[in-house]
Structure 1
C-alpha cells in the first residue's frame, strides 16, 4: 500500500529532543563491538591457526550463540528493564572475550576456542535494539496500540532513519578499526579493543536509567504478553535477514582471503569499509526520501537488487573493481534492512518491541555465523573467489522465501489486532 507521507521532520529537530544525547553517545560507543567482534575473531584465529576454516568455525559459534540468546535478552529487557540486563551482560562479555583471546594466543585446540566463543556471543549486549526502544518510549511510540492509527510522534520516522545511519556508520568504523589494530599493532588488539569498548560503553549506557523504557507489567489472563516470534511476518523477516547476515559473514572472510592472496592484508579494512560506507550512504538517503511506495514493496525490490549485486562478487579479481562492487552491495543492503525493520513496527506490539528487534539482529548474526563457516571452508580449499559465492547463495534463498511469503508482511486489520492487544502501530524506519 502506498505511503501518504510527504514531509519528514529534520535530523536537527530530532537531536534537539531533551535527553536524547544522554543515551545516543554511550549507545554509539557500546555499538562498536558488534561490528568488531566477528572480524576480530577471524583475524586472530586465522593468525594463530593458519586456517580460515578454523577461524570461521570459532566465529560461527559466537554468532550462533548470539542469535539464540539475543531474543532472550530482549525479553528480559522488556520485562525487567535494560539496566538489569546490561550490567551483568557487559561484565560477562568482557571476561569471555579475554578468555577467548588468551586461549587463541596459547594455541589452544579448536574445541577450546569454540567453547569460549559460546559465552562470548551469548553475552554480546543488544544495544542497538535498546536504543530504538528508548526512542520509541521518548517520542510516544509505546502508546497503547488500540488507540488508533496515526497518533505517534512524526519524529519517529526520523529517529528510525537516524538509527539506520548510526548502525551503518559503526560498520564503517568497527571493521576498519579492528583490522587496523590486528594488522598494525597485534593480532589480538582488535578483540582487546572490542572488550574494552563493550565494558566502557555498556556501563555508561546502562547508567542512563532515566531514558530507558518503562518495565512492562506482568502478564495476565486478560492481557497475555505476545511473543514477537509468534507473528508470521516476523518469522518471514527473520528468514530474509539470514540472507543479509550471509552477505556480512561471506564478505568478511572472502575479503580477508582476497587481501592475503594479493599480498596486501591491510587492504582488507579499506575494502570492507567501502562496502559498509555504501550501506551507510544508502541509509542516509532512505531517511531523507519521502517514500510513496510501501515498505513491503521496497524490501522486495531492495532485496532483489542486493541479490543481483552479490551475484558478481565471485568473478571480480581487481581491488578497484571489488571496491566498486562492494560499494554497490552495501548500497543495496540498507534499503532491505530499513524496510524490514519498518515492517516490524507495523506488525509487533510495543510490549514486544525490543524482543522483535533482537530476533532480527539474531537472524543477521546466525546468517553471518553460517556464512563465515562455509566461506572459511571454501576459501581454504578453493580461494577467495569461492568464498564470494556464499553471499550469492544466501541472498537467493532468502529472496525466494521473501517473495513466496510476502503476503504475511501485511499488517492485520486494526479491529482484529486490537482484540488481541495489538492495535495501533507507528511505522518506524530502522536498521
Structure 2
C-alpha cells in the first residue's frame, strides 16, 4: 500500500490492489490559546519561566548602560555586551545537551548560581573603573550561565503533547505553543529593556543588573523545582555515538539565518540608545525598542490563531523578506516618532520568522537532541546580537547614531540570501518516505513542530516509539 499524506490540509490518498482511490480534504487543525493554557500543569512551569526569562532581555541593555556610564564609550560598552552574548551562544547549546541527558533541574540549579556570582563580579569591576579587558573576562561567564529557559519550556510543551499521541490535534497544539512562546519572548523584550532603562535612569545602572541577576536566580530555581512537568531525560545508549544537532545541514542553515535576526536585535538596541542620546531624549530609548518588540509580539499573537495552509518553509522565507524590507528604512528616520513607526513595521516580521524557524528545526533532529537544537537557534540569536551590537557601536562611534542602523539591514539581508539559496536543506531527512511505504509530505502548517498526523503509519516527526506509547522523552530558545 502507498499513501501520500499532506499534514495541515490533511489530504490523504490511499491506493491498494483491488481497491478504488479515495480523496478526502479537511480543514487545517487549529488550537486556540485558551485550549493551550488549560493544559493540566501548564501554569506551574509558565509562571516561574516568565520570571526567569525576563532578565534575558535586561542583561544586554543593563551591561550597555552600566559600562557606558562608567567607561564613557559605546564601543567599549557594546563590546562587553557582545562578549556576554558570544559566551551565551557558544555555551548555551552545551547546557541544552546536558539538559537532554541529565534533566533540566540538574543543569538549572548550578547555572543560576554561577550567573548571579558572575553578574555581581561584573558590576563590581565596572563600578571600580577596572580596565576593559577585566570586564570582558567577567562578562564571559555571565553570558555563558544564562539559563536556557525558553528551550526548556518548549521541551515541556512538546513532550506534553507527544504523550497525547500522534494526531493533527496534538500537532496543532504544538504549533500554538510555539506561537505562544514567541509572544512570551517578545513580551519580555518589550518589558525587559524598558525595565532595565527605567531602573538605570531612576536608581542607578548597576541596580538594573542587580535586579536582572536576582530575577534569574529566583525564577530559575522556581522553574527547576517543577519536576512533574519536566520531560524525561534521555539516557545514552551503550556503544552509541552521540551526534550533535548541529550535524544537520538544515539546523546549520537555520542557525545562520537566526544570526541575521540576532544582528537586527543587537543593532537596534545600540542604535536606538545612541539615536535617543543624540536628540537629547535618552529615557525614550527603552520605549522605542519596546515598540519594535511590541510589533513582533502582535504578529506572534496573530500567527498563532491562524490555521495556515501554506508550507512553513514558504512562510519563513516570506516573513524574512519582510524583515529585510522593514529594516531597510531605519537608517533614514529623522526623529524618534518616525523611528518608532519604522521599528514597529520591522518588528512585525520578527515573530513569524522565529516561530517558523523553531517549527522547522524540531523536524530536523532526532529525539535526545531537541533541546540542544533549540538552544543552537537561541545561541545563534545571541551571537548575532553580539556581532550586531559590536558592529553598530563601532559605526556609531565613528559615523554618528544613524550609521548603526545599517547593521540590522545588512545582517537580515545576508540571512535572507542564505535562506533562499539553501532552502532545500529545510526538508527533514527521510521525510519523503518513512516506514511501511508511507510517503509523508509536510506541506502545510506546523505539523512538523512535534507530532505529525501519521499515526496509522506509526510515524511522527520528532516523536520516538516510546513517546507514541505514552512515555515522553526530552524534546525541546530569547530567544532571549
> Shorter-chain TM-score category?
over 0.9
Q: 2:47 aligns with which of 16, 22, 25?
A: 25
> Partners of 2:248 and 2:460 in 1: how far apart?
16
**Could you state the TM-score of these two structures normalised by the residue count of structure 2?**
0.84
2:362 is aligned with 1:345: yes
2:260 is aligned with 1:243: yes
Report the more deviating stretch, 223-232 or 88-97: 223-232
> Partners of 2:234 and 2:335 in 1: how far apart?
53
Label 1:351 to 1:423 Cα distance change in 2 as closer, same or farther (>3 A). Answer: farther
Aligned to 2:100: 78
> Partners of 2:265 and 2:429 in 1: how far apart?
32
Aligned to 1:292: 309
| Offset at residue 3 of structure 1 (A) | 3.8
Of Structure 1 and Structure 2, which has the larger fraction of its residues in helix?
A: 1
2:229 is aligned with 1:207: no
Label 1:310 to 1:141 Cα distance change in 2 as closer, same or farther (>3 A). Answer: farther
When the two chains are superposed, the root-mean-square deviation of aligned CA atoms in Å is 2.2
* Cα deviation code 1:84-129 (max 9, x no counterpart): 0000000000010011011111101000000000100111000000
Q: Name the SS for the 1:388 alignment partner.
A: helix
Q: 1:425 aligns with which of 452, 457, 461?
A: 461
2:362 is aligned with 1:326: no
State whether residues 161 and 429 of structure 1, in contact with CA within 8 Å, keep that contact through their aligned partners in structure 2. no
* Cα deviation code 1:32-71 (max 9, x no counterpart): 1111111111111011111000001101110111000001
Label 1:151 to 1:417 Cα distance change in 2 as closer, same or farther (>3 A). Answer: farther
State whether residues 139 and 156 of structure 1, in contact with CA within 8 Å, keep that contact through their aligned partners in structure 2. yes
Q: Name the SS for the 1:412 alignment partner.
A: coil
> Partners of 1:235 and 1:266 in 2: how far apart?
39
> Partners of 1:330 and 1:142 in 2: how far apart?
35
Aligned to 2:205: 187
Report the more deviating stretch, 8-17 or 288-297: 8-17
| Offset at residue 185 of structure 1 (A) | 1.2
State whether residues 370 and 476 of structure 2, in contact with CA within 8 Å, keep that contact through their aligned partners in structure 1. no
Aligned to 2:216: 198
Q: Name the SS for the 2:205 alignment partner.
A: coil
> Partners of 2:304 and 2:476 in 1: how far apart?
8
Aligned to 1:165: 183
| Offset at residue 158 of structure 1 (A) | 1.9
Label 1:82 to 1:264 Cα distance change in 2 as closer, same or farther (>3 A). Answer: same
**Could you state the TM-score of these two structures normalised by the residue count of structure 1?**
0.94
State which structure, 1 or 2, has the greater radius of gyration over its C-alpha atoms.
2
| Offset at residue 82 of structure 1 (A) | 0.4
Q: Name the SS for the 2:282 alignment partner.
A: coil
Label 1:429 to 1:354 Cα distance change in 2 as closer, same or farther (>3 A). Answer: closer
Aligned to 2:17: none
* Cα deviation code 1:12-31 (max 9, x no counterpart): 12111111111000001000
Q: 1:45 aligns with which of 62, 67, 75?
A: 67
Label 1:217 to 1:319 Cα distance change in 2 as closer, same or farther (>3 A). Answer: same
Q: Name the SS for the 1:349 alignment partner.
A: coil
> Partners of 1:56 and 1:141 in 2: how far apart?
44
> Partners of 2:217 and 2:123 in 1: how far apart?
16
Aligned to 2:274: 257
Aligned to 1:367: 384
Structure 1: segments with no counterpart, 5+ residues: none
* Cα deviation code 1:280-324 (max 9, x no counterpart): 001001101111111111111111110011111111121111000
